[in-house]
Amino acid sequence: MRINKKLVLVSLLCTGMVFLVSFKQKHDDDKAENLKILPKDISEKELHNIMRSFSMSLGVHCNYCHVAKEVPGQSRPQMDFASDDKKEKNTCREMMKMTMAINSDHLSKIKTMGDPLEEIKCVTCHMGRTTPIISVDSLPHAAH
Ligand code: HEC
Ligand code: HEC
């Protein structure tokens, strides 16, 4: 972000207003446009950190929840992050609400001040997989 602003300043000094206008347009287009749970004014960096933690918690890539369109002649698919077409994205929203509810309605009542386990996150249940372990028989070291 800081580099971008510097670049704009340099362009502005060299070639005038045109560059400022195009930067502003690009900047506005980059803003998240379909947030229903996260704050709409969240910074790009914070949003990306959260998305990275979702991906790592479930052991997936961004395209697990986000639409990726193959573009003929391009090696990388084009991501449509704002689209709600993948059911996993909407499941994820329910999971976000569930996680917040567990933390605010239940764990908040357990007073072990300063204990990091007072709050759960996606990784607490998912541990790097899309489907959490739901039976003791599936524990990695379960005796058979
Ligand atoms: C487990 C599902 C999941 C994964 C994996 C995931 N996302 Fe998301 N992403 C979401 C959800 C859900 C939202 C919408 C949150 C809301 O409604 O507040 C979102 C929103 C976004 C947005 C905002 C789009 C807009 O315009 O509203 C961006 C950008 C984004 N994700 C990027 C990424 C990137 C980059 C990755 C990979 C590093 C990634 N996401 C991985 C679920 C996911
Ligand atoms: C309290 C435990 C728990 C927490 C916390 C939790 N999940 Fe889940 N999650 C589950 C369970 C259980 C399922 C259902 C698995 C199944 O039967 O398909 C699930 C399913 C999902 C699925 C659908 C997987 C599929 O196979 O379709 C996604 C996506 C997901 N969770 C994302 C998240 C994200 C992102 C977070 C953090 C915001 C989160 N979960 C937090 C327990 C949890």
Give the number of the atom of ligand 1 that is nearest the alpha carbon of residue 90: 12
For atom 28 of ligand 1, the residue with the nearest CA is: 81
C-alpha 114 to ligand 1 mean position (Å)? 30
C-alpha 141 to ligand 1 mean position (Å)? 34
Cα gap 89→93, rounded to integer Å: 6
Cα gap 128→125, rounded to integer Å: 9
Q: Rounded to whole angstroms, what are the CA distances from 42 to 45, 46, 78, 95, 143?
A: 8, 7, 23, 19, 46
For atom 11 of ligand 1, the residue with the nearest CA is: 89
45 versus 138: the higher-pLDDT residue is: 45
Confidence of residue 97 (pLDDT cuts 50, 70, 90): very high
Asked if the model's pLDDT at residue 100 lies above 80, the reply is yes
* Residue 82 near residue 34 (C-beta atoms within 8 A): yes
Give the number of the atom of ligand 2 that is nearest the alpha carbon of residue 64: 29
Residue-level pLDDT at 36: 98
Residue-level pLDDT at 116: 65
Confidence of residue 120 (pLDDT cuts 50, 70, 90): very high
Residues of the chain with pLDDT > 70: what percent? 74
* Residue 128 near residue 57 (C-beta atoms within 8 A): yes
- Mean pLDDT calculated for residue range 43-58: 98
Residue-level pLDDT at 20: 40
